[in-house]
């Protein structure tokens, strides 16, 4: 059994895999991570190895305590991955993006795949049919767009995510919803369209915290998979275990 630990910007996802299948998944605050891991180990005594992917604020002491009790890979750009990385600055490539591309190799081998992760940021990552990772793009996510309008202007309120009822907002609040939600939908659809014109037989994966909200409203044909990053991390763990 494998333990997958994904430390994000706002929370920690923990998953237990058995033979490539998720049998348990938890989401906790970062200060509860050690307690929850111990609970999972007690519940699943066959857990033998783990992988940590952290884009958040996992402390060194937490890391030491976790790795002390289970054989663990801490994902970084030096860990072996199942694709050829052609990113010009591999040391700056986020571990979450490395995991997503690995999942694309696992689920859609030898295909042109665009992975869109709609979370705090929206990341776009592309791997071609030759198993070459070429890069992608990063833009602000939905929550950042709402916060920026509130933080950087004097009179606009901070709103919660809401799908606009119509294109033309007839109040400041409705105009904010229309601008942010329609804007991000048009961005994603537009980028997918650009990739489709350049690469034939493109497979598009949408994942991340806002994937369910966005997938219902996008015009483009996509595959939504909320566990895509976790599956990629498990693949990397197995890939290195078999080396």
Q: Give the C-alpha separation, 81 to 37, whole Å.
A: 25
Residue 241 CB partners (closer than 8 Å, separation 6+): 49
Residue 49 half-sphere exposure toward CB, CA atoms < 13 A: 15
Task: Give the CB-side neighbour count of residue 35, counting CA atoms within 13 A.
Answer: 6
105 is in an annotated binding site: no
> 2-74: which CATH architecture?
2-Layer Sandwich (3.30)
User: Exposed, middle or buried, 55 (CB in 10 Å: 0-12/13-18/19+)?
Assistant: middle
Q: Which phi and psi angles does 127 have, rounded to 5°?
A: -125, 135
Residues identified as active-site: 96
What is the pLDDT averaged over residues 54-60?
85
CATH level 3 topology of 84-232: Nucleotidyltransferase; domain 5 (3.30.420)
Q: Give the pLDDT of residue 44.
A: 95
Fold match between domain 2-74 and domain 84-232? yes
The pLDDT-based confidence of 243 (bands split at 50, 70, 90) is low
72 known member of a binding site: no
Tell me how far apart the alpha carbons of residues 205 and 231 are, in angstroms, rounded to a whole number.
13
Q: Report the range of poorest mean pLDDT among 19-28, 55-64, 154-163, 232-241.
A: 55-64
How is the chain split into domains, by residue range?
2-74, 84-232
State pLDDT tens for residues 146-171. 999 999 999 999 999 999 999 999 99
Per-residue model confidence as pLDDT tens digits over 74-108: 999 999 999 999 999 999 999 999 999 999 999 99
First-to-last C-alpha distance (Å) of the chain: 18
The annotation status of 96 as a binding-site residue, yes or no, is: yes
What would the two tokens of residue 97 be? 């993006």
Q: Is the dihedral angle over the CA atoms 7, 214, 177, 190 positive or is it negative?
A: positive
Per the annotation, does 92 bind a ligand?
no
Please state the φ and ψ torsions of residue 132, each to the nearest 5 degrees: -110, 125
């Amino acid at each position: 059994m494998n333990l997958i630990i994904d430390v994000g910007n706002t929370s920690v996802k923990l998953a237990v895999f058995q033979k490539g299948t998720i049998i348990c998944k938890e989401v906790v605050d970062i200060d509860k991570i050690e307690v929850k891991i111990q609970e999972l180990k007690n519940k699943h005594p066959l857990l033998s190895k783990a992988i940590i992917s952290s884009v958040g604020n996992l402390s060194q002491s937490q890391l030491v305590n976790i790795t002390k009790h289970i054989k663990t890979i801490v994902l970084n750009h030096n860990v072996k991955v199942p694709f050829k990385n052609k990113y010009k600055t591999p040391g700056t490539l986020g571990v979450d993006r490395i995991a997503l591309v690995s999942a694309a190799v696992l689920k859609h081998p030898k295909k042109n795949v665009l992975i869109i992760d709609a979370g705090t940021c929206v990341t776009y990552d592309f791997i071609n049919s030759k198993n070459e990772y070429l890069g992608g793009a990063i833009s602000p996510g939905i929550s950042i767009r709402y916060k920026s309008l509130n933080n950087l202007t004097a009179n606009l309120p901070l709103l919660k995510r809401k799908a606009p009822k119509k294109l033309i907002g007839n109040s400041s609040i409705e105009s904010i919803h229309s601008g942010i939600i329609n804007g991000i939908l048009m961005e994603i659809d537009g980028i997918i369209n650009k990739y489709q014109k350049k690469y034939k037989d493109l497979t598009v994966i949408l994942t991340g915290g806002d994937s369910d909200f966005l997938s219902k409203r996008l015009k483009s044909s996509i595959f939504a998979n909320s566990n895509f990053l976790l599956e990629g991390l498990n693949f990397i763990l197995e890939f290195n275990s078999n080396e």
